[in-house]
């Protein structure tokens, strides 16, 4: 909070951004091992804004079960062959993650505090 000389207060807030993406991806559908602990996962209906700010991706068989595959997002691309859906390139990490974030259906965004 910033207070000006005349007693007027202004509260500055940062825009929230997506830090993590949790997806239900049964049986590793459209997951491809690329070697060197890198994998790709597609074809996801995710906004470019979310893809640009997300730091990690976690794949789950069900929302109430820890992820079976997860890691740091190294990059992404749009697949024109799949209606512009996104393919993520991910550096795999070992520690399974619990489902976090809000969202409906089989996608959850974990947001920053802002």
Contact at 8 Å (CB) between 44 and 24? no
What percent of the chain has a predicted confidence (pLDDT) above 70?
Answer: 87
pLDDT tens profile 33-74? 999 999 999 999 999 999 999 999 999 999 999 999 999 999
| Whole-angstrom distance, CA of residue 82 vs CA of residue 64 | 28
What is the per-residue pLDDT for 12? 53
Average pLDDT, the chain: 90
CA dist 107 → 14, 73, 85 (Å): 24, 16, 14
Residue 1: is its pLDDT beyond 60? no
CA dist 30 → 11, 15, 27, 40 (Å): 45, 32, 9, 8
What is the per-residue pLDDT for 101? 85
What is the per-residue pLDDT for 58? 98
Using 50, 70 and 90 to split pLDDT, how confident is the model at 10?
Answer: low
Q: Minimal CA–CA distance to 62: which of 91, 22, 101, 95?
A: 22
- Checking 44-49 for CB contacts under 8 A at 24+ apart, the result is 44/85, 44/86, 44/87, 44/88, 44/107, 45/85, 45/86, 45/107, 46/21, 46/85, 46/86, 46/107, 48/86, 49/17, 49/18
What percent of the chain has a predicted confidence (pLDDT) above 90?
Answer: 81
pTM of the predicted structure, to 2 decimals: 0.85
């Amino acid at each position: 909070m910033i207070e000006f000389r005349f007693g007027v207060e202004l509260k500055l807030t940062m825009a929230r951004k997506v830090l993590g993406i949790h997806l239900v991806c049964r049986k590793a559908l459209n997951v491809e091992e690329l070697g060197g602990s890198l994998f790709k996962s597609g074809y996801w209906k995710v906004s470019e804004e979310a893809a640009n700010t997300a730091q990690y991706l976690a794949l789950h068989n069900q929302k109430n079960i820890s992820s079976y595959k997860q890691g740091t997002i190294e990059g992404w691309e749009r697949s024109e062959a799949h209606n512009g859906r996104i393919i993520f390139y991910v550096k795999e990490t070992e520690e399974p993650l619990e489902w976090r974030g809000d969202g409906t259906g089989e996608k959850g965004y974990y947001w920053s505090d802002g």
